[in-house]
Structure 1
């Protein structure tokens, strides 16, 4: 251990032409082997051209017996070496712990490459220098072209046509007239043996090929006599080993099944958006209840911290037992995941496992709006914050309806799907029911899904969804933000059960401010509150044609256009939302929200 070894040809050879002082071409080949101690060992060896064969001042370990810390890199060394390096030393800019390099007065190689060889069809094959097996090296220098080639191959294999290393080198300033040729090796903390089994060298010509039949065999360690007790202990140890192996295999299989997930060919295009189930499981501490953020009709939402990036996320587990439609569902979800808007919750990606889909969203530290809006003894949100949230969600819907590559209908706009970031900015989330279609086309009819109180009448009757159905739900959202009430309150007095009816009746009586959330205690701008309430009624019109677009909604909220007058039609229960007497029909404005169509009570 911590040793160096050198072997040189006994006399120096004439390397420079006496007439021109140019370095003469030379060629050498040798067979070597590095046999490590158990389990590792050695630092490597090198073929050396040196002005002196006395390298007693050279260091062991990473210095390969060539240099020491004080003279490494000095031009006075007059050494050229081809290193067969089996250790990784960043201070020498090594590329790895198994490489071949050309060294000139320094262990920082001028050229280096992974140990191996190129086949005749130019494919690279790795070789492990410290494998304990013999290998052959060819080193050739062309004095006219000043080119040094190094080639490596397995023992007894033909010399590869393509060299491993090829470098333009002019050693005239490095070589003396006469130089010694030989080998150097070193070890570190672990013992290793370095062998040169055969060597051929030629100046101004091609080195004579080696006769493999005359090369010695590598020495083998003598087997020790086995103690008698070993005949008893070895079978026992084998049995224990097999039991441990079986336990490990069982553990790995169970763990693999635990984290097994579905991955089909069509999902490859979503690779960057696909999370592993293992990462999501760990990020949520196994989906423990203490990390539960909310529960809805379509799944549970958990807080998580991604282990790789330490990023907080919300993970929604959605049941999806049907095999049909999964591909289309994921395609639409990923299309939505590419959207970027400050008032939309960012969908980061998804995971599929068995009959379950997991959707990963940005984490919103202040949770959903409904938790701050309802069932609170005092107002958590003042009027200015509520109005900012309303305008933000309107901007988000405008982006979905008009500014995306495709029209996106959210289909589930409500306070519980509006999430609040750290600064209480509103972001529309939960796109699990969203529908996409091209601009200028009509979406197909579908099953009526959503939440009672937010469904437009055309959805419950014909399954017809358009951007106008989102506007209807946004109208209910406006009323619940201003009133601090859900669209349907079963425990409220009969007159107040349906929110839109109650607001309509108070507007007809001229007492519309009586519906404003009592927790605001009059701390609001009356004109702004009236605009929000009347706009909520306008958006809740039973006729899709009478409802404004989201662009018109934003213009009204910003005061860019005046709020249309709501004209009462005394012949109906509702009111007219447009000048000219186009009134609500004899149906109550909120009746479609509680129709007999298929709905999802309770939301998600």
Structure 2
């Protein structure tokens, strides 16, 4: 006796019926095996009542509760004697047997595949949107500076998506955000130039070309940049103490001592000397002012914002005819020639020195003061009266070295001389501040009011991309200094 599995196994079945003995024998064997000697089933049954002269013969099967599929590939019938053996080679092949148990698995697999395809489509759309969001512009000229380019994604993460909580300041160019580079945990400042800013691609490229190669302890270091659609982004070293104007004008309770102010004045002078004479090219900053001087953790000065900077070879003539900068710091000859020079930077530095010493902006128009004044004319008038120290910042409460204060005020006047040939170079200015040379007296032809650049009838038209844009037409110019040197009251 041998066990035989009927599941998925082709079998042969013999059914023999003896009408006289009314005996039915059923024998079962695998397809390629001969007929066994022992019957699987043997029983007495009378089929005379069901067998007719003419009838149809068919087959049926049942297995109880188990779901199965049965196939008959061939059969042989004989009413008299033994039925003819089947030719196994002529039998048709069995069909692929499908398991009903696998149907749920199949449906589950189909469902998983559909879900994966759907998720793939969603992921593809999301990726396309993500790439579009962080898509950047790259032009051939950038190949030289590609090592200093940051991805917009990194900048976006560093600034927490440019949240208002990370905003350090803003101006005509756009906004400045604090950020932290994730990979280095380094704090940075990111300047995001607005779409409608006057500081366009020309200024953006100038700042990249200039600052990525400049190295000086008193310059803000440009770390990298990025371009995305219409957005221009610059990444700098982060200056924790912000800009100098915050201490001079916005925070009257600041404890900015005179020694710190004097050190700041020397630091900015050193930076301008480097730009004018000590680098491989002459760099004109063209926007020297207190708001563009940043302070590091030790209150050392760092000159920044090179959006208006221009490079020239040494001893070559400048070609720019566009007057740019900030009102109050523009040298008077710019309205005539329109050409920036190292002397125009010196003029702005002179106004900056007066800001540092006096704690006042260049004019009452910028300070929104009830007192009408022009800072350089007021200091000059007090100098003529022998009361120049009376112009010092009241916030200092007299806590300064008189020699240093007088030196800074007089140097501020010399640097802001109406005529460019009357101004010292930045190298001379550094020598004066370091005590390596004696400061000359203020020349007799210094008076701004009677100077040909300021007297008479003239007109200028200028743009100011670093703060605002406007056009000025002036018929007569009168220098206003109705402030008394002693108590700063109106006349």
Q: Same fold (TM over 0.5)?
A: yes
2:175, 2:194 within 8 Å by CA — same for their partners in 1?
no
CA distance in 2, matches of 1:588, 1:573: 11
CA distance in 2, matches of 1:424, 1:328: 28
Q: Structure 1 regions of 5+ residues with no counterpart?
A: 1-222, 576-582
Alignment of 1:121-520 (within 5 A): 227-319=102-194, 326=201, 329-330=204-205, 333-490=208-365, 491-496=368-373, 498-520=374-396
Match of 1:547 in 2: 423
Aligned partners of 1:334 and 1:349 also within 8 Å: no
Question: For residues 188-242 of structure 1, what are the alpha-carbon distances to aligned partners after superposition, in whole Å with 9 as ceiling and x for unaligned?
Answer: xxxxxxxxxxxxxxxxxxxxxxxxxxxxxxxxxxx99561223433433333222
Query: For 1:73-124, what per-residue CA distance to the aligned partner results, in whole angstroms no more than 9, with x for missing partners?
Result: xxxxxxxxxxxxxxxxxxxxxxxxxxxxxxxxxxxxxxxxxxxxxxxxxxxx
Encode CA deviations 1:505-564: one digit per residue, 9 max, x unaligned.
222222222211000000011111111111111111121111110001111112222211
| Displacement after TM superposition at 1:603 (Å) | 6.7
CA deviations 1:156-204 (Å, max 9, x no partner) are xxxxxxxxxxxxxxxxxxxxxxxxxxxxxxxxxxxxxxxxxxxxxxxxx
Q: What does residue 399 of structure 2 align with?
A: 523
Partner of 1:587: 454
Measured in 2, the distance between the counterparts of 1:558 and 1:543 equals 25
1:472 Cα shift? Answer: 0.6
- Compute the displacement of 1:447 (Å): 1.1
Equivalent residue, structure 1, for 2:26:
none
* Contact map agreement 1:280 1:306 (CA 8 A) in 2: yes
SS for the counterpart of 1:338 is coil
SS for the counterpart of 2:250 is: coil
Q: Distance in 2 between matches of 1:438 and 1:275?
A: 29
Tell me by how many angstroms 1:358 deviates: 0.8
For 1:502 and 1:262, the matched residues in 2 are separated by 50
* 1:351 to partner: Cα distance: 0.7
CA displacement at 1:574 relative to structure 2:
3.2
Give the drift of 1:420.
0.6
8 Å CA contact 1:450, 1:603 repeated in 2:
no
Separation in structure 2 between the aligned mates of residue 255 and residue 543 of structure 1, nearest angstrom: 56
Count of residues paired in the alignment: 370
The answer for the alignment partner of 1:169 in structure 2 is: none
The equivalent of 1:598 in structure 2 is 463
Q: Which residue of 2 aligns with 1:34?
A: none
Match of 1:565 in 2: 441
CA 1:451–1:332 in structure 2 vs 1: closer, same or farther (change >3 Å)? closer
Q: Distance in 2 between matches of 1:447 and 1:327?
A: 13
Q: Check conservation: 1:452, 1:600, Cα contact below 8 A.
A: no
Q: CA deviation at 1:492?
A: 2.6
Q: Which has the higher strand share?
A: 1
User: Are the counterparts in 2 of residues 573 and 588 from structure 1 also a CA contact under 8 Å?
Assistant: no
Q: Show structure 1 runs of 4+ deviating over 6 A.
A: none
On the 8 A contact 1:411/1:433 being kept in 2, the answer is: yes
Deviation per residue, 1:426-453 (Å, 9 max, x gap) = 0101111100010010110231111111
For residues 327 and 297 of structure 1, do their structure 2 counterparts lie closer, same or farther at Cα, with a shift above 3 Å needed?
closer
Evaluate the alpha carbon distance shift between residue 562 and residue 551 of structure 1 in structure 2; reply closer, same or farther with a 3 A threshold: same
Residues 421 and 574 (structure 1), Cα distance of their counterparts in 2 relative to 1, 3 Å cut? same
Q: Given the superposition, is the C-alpha separation of residues 442 and 320 from structure 1 closer, same or farther in structure 2, using an over 3 Å criterion?
A: farther
Could you tell me the TM-score, scaled by structure 2's length? 0.70
1:574 counterpart = 2:448: yes
Q: Does the C-alpha gap of structure 1 residues 540 and 389 become closer, same or farther in structure 2, counting only changes over 3 Å?
A: same
Give the structure 1 partner of residue 475 of structure 2: none
Q: Cα–Cα, structure 1 residues 502 and 287, in superposed 2: closer, same or farther, change >3 Å?
A: same
CA contact (8 A) 2:206 2:309 kept: no
Q: How far off is 1:466 after superposition?
A: 0.6
Tell me the SS of whatever aligns to 1:527.
Answer: helix
- Could you give the per-residue CA deviations for residues 345-404 of structure 1, whole angstroms, max 9, x where no partner exists? 111111111112111111111111111111323342110100000001000000000011
The Cα shift of 1:329 comes to: 4.8
Q: Determine helix, strand or coil for the equivalent of 1:294.
A: strand
> Do the aligned partners of residues 508 and 529 (structure 1) sit closer, same or farther apart at CA in structure 2, a change above 3 Å counting?
same
Larger C-alpha radius of gyration, 1 or 2? 2
Change (3 A) 1:551 1:332: same
Give the structure 2 partner of residue 61 of structure 1.
none
Cα separation, 2, equivalents of 1:456 and 1:527:
27
Mapped partners of 1:546, 1:567: distance in 2: 8
State the distance in 2 between where 1:565 and 1:335 align.
36
Work out the CA distance in 1 between the residues paired with 2:158 and 2:98.
Answer: 53
Residues 338/248 of structure 1: CA separation in 2 closer, same or farther (3 Å cut) = same
2:411 aligned with 1:535: yes
Instruction: Give SS of 1:548's match.
Output: coil
Aligned to 1:165: none
